[in-house]
Amino acid sequence: MRIASGSALVTGGASGLGAATAERLVADGAPVVICDLPGSAGAETASRIGATFASTDVTSEEQVRAAVAIAAELGPLRVVVNCAGIPEAVKVLDRSRRATDLDRFTRTIAVNLTGTYNVLRLAAEAMVDNPLDDGDRGVLVCTSSIAAFDGSVGQAAYSASKAAIAGMTLPIARELAEHAIRVVTIAPGMFETPLFLGLPEPAQRSLAQQVPHPSRMGRPAEFADCVAFVVGNGMINGETVRLDGAVRMAPR
C-alpha cells in the first residue's frame, strides 16, 4: 500500500519513535495526525513537521474517536501507528518485602495494552469502507518491545503489556483479513528515545555495548523506516518483527 494514498495517525507522536514515524509519513506524502497528551510537545512537533495535533488520551474512546475523525477528514485513514505507552518499572515486592501498589501494574496495562487496543478497534472501524490500494484498505502497526520476550527484573507490568500486544497481533490480523486490513507489530530493542537518552552517559554506553551488531542504540528514524517498509509490503501481516540488533536483555 502507498503511504501517500490516504491519511495517517500516530499515537505517542510528540517525541521519540512516534515523532520520527510521523515525520517519515509526512515526508512520504501522507497528511498525519499526531496524538499525544495535552502536556506533551505534540503541538510543537506537529508544527515542525507539517502535521496536525490532536490532544488524545489513548484510553479514552471519545478522544480517540475524535482523533480518528480528524484524520479521516484529511483523506481515507490508511495507516495507524501505535507508539503511545509508559515505561513503568515496578517490582512485585518492594525493598521491605511488601507487595507493591497494584495500581502501578493496572495503569501500565491500561495505557500500553488497552490503549493500543482502543486505537486499533476505532481505526479499523474507520478503515473498513476505504477503497482498496494495491489490495489493502489500511495497515495497523503496533509497538511491542523486546521486553515482551526477555524482560528484566522490574519489568513485569511493562513486559506483560508488550507481550499481550504481540499476542493479539495474529488473531486481530486474521479477523481483519476479510476487510483487507493488515496488522503488524514491531518490537524495538534499545533505541535513542527520551527514556534512554535521559540515562547517565556511562549507562547509555553500557547498554549500547550489549547490542551484538550494530553495537549502538537504534535510531528513531530506523524504526520509522521499518514502519514504512511494513506499510509498503503487502505480505507482512500478523507478525511481530524484532528490531533490536540481535540483543537479548539481561535479567538485571
Answer yes or no: are the C-beta atoms of 26 and 3 closer than 8 Å.
no
Instruction: Report d(CA 177, CA 134) in Å as an integer.
Output: 14
80-164-197-93 Cα dihedral, nearest 10 degrees? 150
Which H or E run includes 79?
strand 77-82
Residue environment code for 143-169, b if the CB has 16+ CB neighbours within 10 A, otherwise e: bbbbbbbebeeebbbbbbbbbbbbebb
Catalytic residues: 158
How far, rounded to the nearest angstrom, does the alpha carbon of residue 109 sit from its chain's CA centroid? 14
Name residue 181's beta-bridge partners.
138
Instruction: Report d(CA 166, CA 147) in Å as an integer.
Output: 11
Instruction: Report d(CA 181, CA 124) in Å as an integer.
Output: 8
Q: Are strands 7-11 and 52-55 parallel, antiparallel or unpaired?
A: unpaired
